[in-house]
Structures are given as C-alpha cells and as structure tokens.
Amino acid sequence: MVLGRDFREGMNVAVDTSLTEYTKLQEQECQSLLQLLGEMGIATAERVYGPGDAIYNQGEYGDALYVLTSGVLKLFRPYSGSKEATLRLLKPWDIFGHLAFAGETRQRAYAEAVTECRVTKVPKIFVERAVRQEPRAAFKLMTLLELRLVQYEELVKCLLPRETEVRLANLLPLLAQKFGQSTDGLVTIDLRLTHQDLAAMVASTRESVTKVLNEMRNRDVIDVDAGRITLKDTRTLARLSLE
Amino acid sequence: MVLGRDFREGMNVAVDTSLTEYTKLQEQECQSLLQLLGEMGIATAERVYGPGDAIYNQGEYGDALYVLTSGVLKLFRPYSGSKEATLRLLKPWDIFGHLAFAGETRQRAYAEAVTECRVTKVPKIFVERAVRQEPRAAFKLMTLLELRLVQYEELVKCLLPRETEVRLANLLPLLAQKFGQSTDGLVTIDLRLTHQDLAAMVASTRESVTKVLNEMRNRDVIDVDAGRITLKDTRTLARLSLE
DNA sequence: TACAGCCTGTATAAGCTCGAGCAATTCAGC
DNA sequence: GCTGAATTGCTCGAGCTTATACAGGCTGTA
C-alpha cells in the first residue's frame, strides 16, 4: 500500500488553488452558453422550485440539460438501503442532469431544491441543434461537462479516507471555495448546514460530524456561528486532509 | 438518516443492467470518433507503453485527449499520505486525460499502463479543430465525456458504504460488466487481480479484501481461479450491495 | 404562549477496519 | 527445475464508526 514513487505533495496544493478559477470559468462559460442559445432563438424553459421540491428523480429519463441560475440545489442518491448521500451541492451556473446524445439515459440521482431556486431546462434536441450550428456552444458545453467531472473527482477525494475527520478536512475547503464569503481574510461558508447535511456529504453519521466539528472548534481550526462555518486555520485543515 | 421517500429499488437494477449498453456505445462512439479524425486528416500520435510505464503524472499540464486502443491501463491518485487509490481501470476505447478548452488544466491523477498498451494522443488544438469543423465529432466526444462521468459515479457508489464487503459487492459486478467473459452463463472477470489491486479500487486494505473474498468464496458467491474471479451468485451480490 | 419538530451534544455497546507481524503458497525469471 | 519475490492466509489489539438512546436547546407555527 505504500507508494513506490515520489508524489510531489506540493503539486496537490497547486491543483487545489486552481479551483477558484474553475468557479469563475464555469460562471462565464455557463452564462455565455445560455446567452448563445438565446441568440440562436432556442427555447429554454425556466422554472422556479421551492425548498424540498424535486427537479427530477433517479431513474427518470433524462433528455435535457439543466442549468441552475439561482438558489442552491442538491443531487443525492440512496445507498446502503436506508441512507442518502449528497453527491453535489450546486450553486448558480452549475449544470446537472444526464443528456447522453446516444443511448438511453436515466437520471442517476435525485435532484432537489434546497433553497428556492430557478432552473433552466434545455431539451436535448435544442442542445443538439446548438452544437451542430454553433461550435462555440459545443466548446462551452464541453468545458462545463469537464468541470462537472472535476466536481465528482473532488467528491471521490473526500470519500477515499475513512475517518470522518479527514473527510471533513477535505470537504470544508471545497465548500469554502464554492460557497465562501471572505471577511477579514477568513472564509465563511455562506450556507446554513446542519451536521446531518455535512454527514450526507461525507457519507458519515450525524454523531461523528458533531464530534469532529466540536474538536475542530476547540482547536480553533474552525468557528461555527448560527450554522455557518468559518475556516480559521486552513493550514491545519490541509495537514489533516493528507493524513 | 432514514429516507423520507420511496426510492423504488427496482429502478436501480434497471440502471445497472444498462451498463452493458454503455460499453458497446462507448466502443462505437470512440472508434468512429478516431475514424472521423483520420478522415479529416488530423494527426494522432500513437504510442506503446510497457507494464508500469507512466502515460502522464498528476500535476502535469494536460493538453490532449487520450484514447486507449489496446491493453489495460489504470488511473490512480495518492490519498491519506501513503496509500494509492485506483480511480479507473481502463479498457480499449476508454478515453482519459483532462482537456479543458478554457482555463488551465492539470492532470488530476497518475495514468499508468497495467499491461502493454497502445495509446492514441490527440492534441487539444486538433480536437478543437475537429469540433469546430465537424459537429458529429463534437457529439461523439460529448457522449464519451458523459460516459466517463458515469464511471466516476459508479466509483462513488462503490465508496459510499464503509464495509469492505459491500464495496466489493458493488465493485465486482462493475468489473464483470467491463472485463467480463461469459461462459456457461457465468461471468468471469478476465483480469489477473491481486487482493492488493482490489483493495486500491475500493480504498480498503489488502487484508480486508482477502477476508471478504474468502467469505464470498466459502458461500459460493464467487469463485477464484488463478487470480481470476467468477461471479457465481449475482443475486446475493446485489443483495449485499444494498445493505 | 404553548407546542411540536428539528438540531445539538453525550454516552454506551458492538462491529469493523487498520496496522503489524508472520507463515504458507504461488508465481516469474533464470 | 530452481530460486527469489510476490501473493495469500491468518492472528491480534487499538482505534474509529455505527447504532441506539436520551436530554436540552432552538425554531417556527398554532
């Protein structure tokens, strides 16, 4: 199990800091893709969902590209019989939904609104038309698909270690980069997250999350105020995530 | 943690059986993509790697699309300091490598040949040209990107449960579908896999895999012959993966 | 204001993994 | 066919997670 080569840990840091760029890139590409579709006269259906509403269910046929334009939304799937894991927490300009251009496609997770959110749905045939007529749309879409893959890779990174502490040490910086609000050099995750929510994201239990979060707070690694987590010691978090 | 809604377990089965279709679809799309590129006069570099050779390393800049055309190859990344996890085990007509069309891209894993294998590398600029000039290439590429995402989702599915037994019960059918050889109605995974290899795929330890595999063999769920695993009781495996 | 429901914090026993160590066996190269 | 390396099989404690249970706090609603 010990690695036989030099993994150059420094590189991981470089990879991670580029996630912020990913966020900006995604917003740009996603917004300009929708704009492009509009200019091409392509109909996109926008719909508003209230907290808890399902956008689609696992197993449904997916024949559209979904874009979240406002609010927060989660993709989750059941596992081990009676638990549910949050696969992705989406913010505006994230895309979701499976739209294979060939072969049958079923949604591989449940999509549910967390806050009130606005979703733009582009039927598959229109996406096809856009790709056919406008290569720029194809590039933007492929960039977005690639960024979605990166998010899954990050999820895998969170799930590889078994200890809840290490998983959270991997997850919290990700949430901070995606939902972070910078104040006084410290980053606060601008979401009300219950321990249960966090547990679903790292496939652990509420109790373990409670325990780890309190430990981190006692060690001044994080601060929790009204369900909002502030990262106070990112160096310690980074160190934890490697162990 | 208990789910508040009906997850319709039957649907999971339907989703999984469609993976075989995914394999065929992928071969078709990938082969025809390469053929299309050839017809367009696009230069693709083909190179042969011996077992253990690195195709690229984590952190390197990725500016190409890689296609495995023969052999077996693995993508892996280090975690928890000194362990390594196999993220994907690739067979011919799998694509790999990050090629964002915008923004900097670094490889997010190590790619290493398992057996001797042949890899076709298409530089990013040529992929761009193909997408620009030939929408069919764009469709095929997007389909392949989507299929790659599905593989990551399957990996996540393997990693969600904590028990090694359940993880393997999820992994083995996946391997069987990808590398399976049907004989007498039973499927054999046509690869020599050590317990260490399997442990890297489910992020567990060699010892745990040994134990679980022996239990499964004693219960006639699987059969192991010369490092090749045969699935004898897929129903029991499916049941295990749900618990 | 009272209430119900959710969230947090603790505690316990039980189960599983992890890591170390050490044989026996198998495999691969010579 | 032989030898060295790798793989497999097994054991044992330590550590962590899980499941369960319960008490107190917070929040939104009636």
Q: Which residue's structure tokens are 């949430």? A: A175
A85-123: b or e for each residue (b if 16 or more CB lie within 10 Å)?
bbbbbbbbbbbbbbbbbbbebbbbbbbbbbeebbbbbbb
C-alpha angle B147-A85-A69 in degrees, rounded to nearest 5: 70
Distance from residue A74 (CA) to nucleotide D4 (C1'), in Å? 54
Compute and round to an integer the Cα radius of gyration of chain A: 19
- The per-residue pLDDT for A90 is 96
Q: Does some domain include residue B13?
A: no
For residue A80, CA distances in Å to B118, B144, B173, B184 come to 38, 29, 16, 31
What values do phi and psi take at A233, rounded to 5?
-135, 85
Chosen for mutation from A18, A160, A174 (greatest number of chain B CBs closer than 10 Å) is A160
B94: CB within 7 A of chain C nucleic strand:
no
Q: Under an 8 A CB cutoff, do B7 and A78 touch?
A: yes
- CA atoms lying within 13 Å on the CB side of residue A227: 9
Chosen for mutation from B159, B202, B239, B241 (greatest number of chain A CBs closer than 10 Å) is B159
- In this structure, of A132-141, A220-229, B24-33, the range with the lowest mean pLDDT score is A220-229
* pLDDT above 70 for A8: no
**Would you tell me how many other CB atoms lie within 10 Å of the CB of residue A3?**
13
Q: Give burial (CB, 10 Å; 0-12/13-18/19+) of A23.
A: middle
Strands, E assignment, chain B? 45-49, 54-56, 64-70, 73-79, 83-90, 95-96, 110-113, 117-123, 180-183, 186-189, 222-225, 228-231
Q: Give burial (CB, 10 Å; 0-12/13-18/19+) of A167.
A: buried
Q: Which residues of A touch B83 (CB under 8 A)?
A: 1-3
Contact B67, B182 (CB under 8 A): no
Q: Which candidate, A42, A103, A110, places its Cα nearest to that of A75?
A: A110
Q: Under an 8 A CB cutoff, do B149 and A152 touch?
A: yes
Q: A4 at the B interface (CB within 8 A)?
A: no
Residues paired with A90 in a beta bridge: A73
Residues B114 and B183 in one domain: no
Q: Does some domain include residue B7?
A: no
- CA atoms lying within 13 Å on the CB side of residue B138: 26
CATH of the domain at B74: 2.60.120.10
Interface subset of B 101-160, CB within 8 angstroms of A: 101-106, 108-109, 128, 131-133, 135, 138-139, 141-143, 145-150, 152-153, 155-157, 159-160
pLDDT by residue (tens digit) across B203-224?
A: 999 999 999 999 998 888 998 8
**Domain edge (last residue) among B139, B157, B175:** B157
**Model confidence at B4, in pLDDT bands (50, 70, 90)?**
very low
Sheet holding B117-123, edge to edge: B45-49, B117-123, B64-70, B95-96
Residues A40 and A132 in one domain: yes
Chosen for mutation from A11, A16, A132, A149 (greatest number of chain B CBs closer than 10 Å) is A149
Cα separation, B195 vs A75, whole angstroms:
33
* pLDDT above 70 for B11: no
Residues B184 and B73 in one domain: no
- Look at residue A235 and give its three-state secondary structure: helix
Q: Does some domain include residue B82?
A: yes
Interface subset of A 175-194, CB within 8 angstroms of B: none
Residues A185 and A118 in one domain: no
**Token pair of B73, please?**
């190859």
Q: Under an 8 A CB cutoff, do B84 and A1 touch?
A: yes
Cα separation, B30 vs B19, whole angstroms:
16
Look over chain B and give the mean of its residue pLDDT values, rounded to a whole number: 86
* pLDDT above 70 for A57: yes
**Model confidence at A202, in pLDDT bands (50, 70, 90)?**
very high
| Domain count for chain B | 2
Q: Which nucleotides of C are covered by protein (CB under 7 A)?
A: 6-12, 16-21, 26-28
Q: Which amino acid type is present at position B243?
A: E
Residues A185 and A203 in one domain: yes
A105: CB within 7 A of chain C nucleic strand:
no
For residue B167, CA distances in Å to A21, B162, B204 come to 34, 7, 9
For residue B83, CA distances in Å to A37, A89, B161 come to 45, 28, 19
Q: Does some domain include residue B215?
A: yes
Residues in chain A, overall count: 243
Residues A66 and A48 in one domain: yes
**Domain edge (last residue) among B92, B127, B157:** B157
Q: Which residue is nearest to nucleotide D7 (CA to C1')?
A: B194
B109-139: b or e for each residue (b if 16 or more CB lie within 10 Å)?
bbbbbbeebbbbbbbbebbbbbbeebbebbb
A204: CB within 7 A of chain D nucleic strand:
yes
Cα separation, A179 vs A198, whole angstroms:
14
Q: Which candidate, A64, A53, A125, A61, places its Cα nearest to that of A99?
A: A64
C-alpha angle A130-B149-A158 in degrees, rounded to nearest 5: 130
Cα separation, A91 vs A23, whole angstroms:
10
- The per-residue pLDDT for A24 is 86
For residue B72, CA distances in Å to A68, A79, A186, A237, B51 come to 38, 30, 46, 36, 9
Q: Which nucleotides of D are covered by protein (CB under 7 A)?
A: 6-12, 16-21, 27
Distance from residue A211 (CA) to nucleotide C2 (C1'), in Å? 33
Q: Does some domain include residue A119?
A: yes
Q: Which amino acid type is present at position A213?
A: L
Print the domain residue range for B32.
21-157
Residues A135 and A174 in one domain: no
Residues A88 and A175 in one domain: no
Q: Does some domain include residue B16?
A: no
Tell me the average pLDDT across B92-111: 88
Q: A51 at the B interface (CB within 8 A)?
A: no
Q: Which amino acid type is present at position A211?
A: K
Contact B203, B79 (CB under 8 A): yes
Look over chain A and give the mean of its residue pLDDT values, rounded to a whole number: 87
Q: Does some domain include residue B101?
A: yes
- Nearest CA of chain A to the CA of B118: how many Å? 23
Distance from residue A50 (CA) to nucleotide C18 (C1'), in Å? 45
**Would you tell me how many other CB atoms lie within 10 Å of the CB of residue B41?**
8
Distance from residue A198 (CA) to nucleotide C11 (C1'), in Å? 22
Q: Does some domain include residue A6?
A: no
**Model confidence at B243, in pLDDT bands (50, 70, 90)?**
low
pLDDT by residue (tens digit) across B30-88?
A: 999 999 999 999 988 999 999 889 999 999 988 899 999 999 999 999 998 778 899 99
- The per-residue pLDDT for B18 is 47
Residues 151-190 of chain A within 7 A of strand C, judged by CB, are 162
